[in-house]
Amino acid sequence: MSEHSIRLFEDDPSIAEIGEGLLARTLPREHWTHEAHLAACTWLVCNRADIDIERELPAIISAYNESVGGVNDDTQGYHETITQVYIAGVKAHLAEVGEGLLLHEAVNALLLSNRGRRDLPLRFYSRELLYSVPARRGFVEPDLASLDLI
């Protein structure tokens, strides 16, 4: 896996802009980065209790992808298993850091942690299983380690 520099957030409004842009489908496609995925998920968990994140985020991301010209099929676009792994990681991170941090501090701490790594799912899944069509289309149980370790 290639190394990527981590782009941290300077303030809470920049994270809210990503979360709101995702929901409204107005976030520019080039802003939908790995960091933005985790920031949006964290923002949703912290600020949108009305959204059942595990159940509703798949449709939110899929609709956003299509709104910016993307395709959700067997090889590209929305990936259910990866999304569910990161939701679990975000929730575990927030439970660990508690409520003492500002949102951008919590997101930045997540991005700098093992739970925020781009290769997090590969701690639990073989590459073959993770990038399979069944894992993209639906959640599959890990074949390397329990997600309880997240």
- Give 70-80 pLDDT, tens digit per residue: 999 999 999 99
Around 97, how many Cα atoms within 13 Å sit in the side-chain half-sphere? 22
Spatial separation of the C-alpha atoms in residues 88 and 84, rounded to whole Å: 6
> What percent of the chain stands above pLDDT 70?
98
Q: 24: how many CB neighbours lie within 10 A of its CB? A: 10
Sign of the torsion formed by the C-alpha atoms of 26, 86, 53 and 138: positive
Let me know: does 74 contact 137? Beta carbons within 8 Å. yes
Report if pTM > 0.85. Answer: yes
Residue-level pLDDT at 1:
45
The 10 Å Cβ neighbour count of residue 31 is: 13
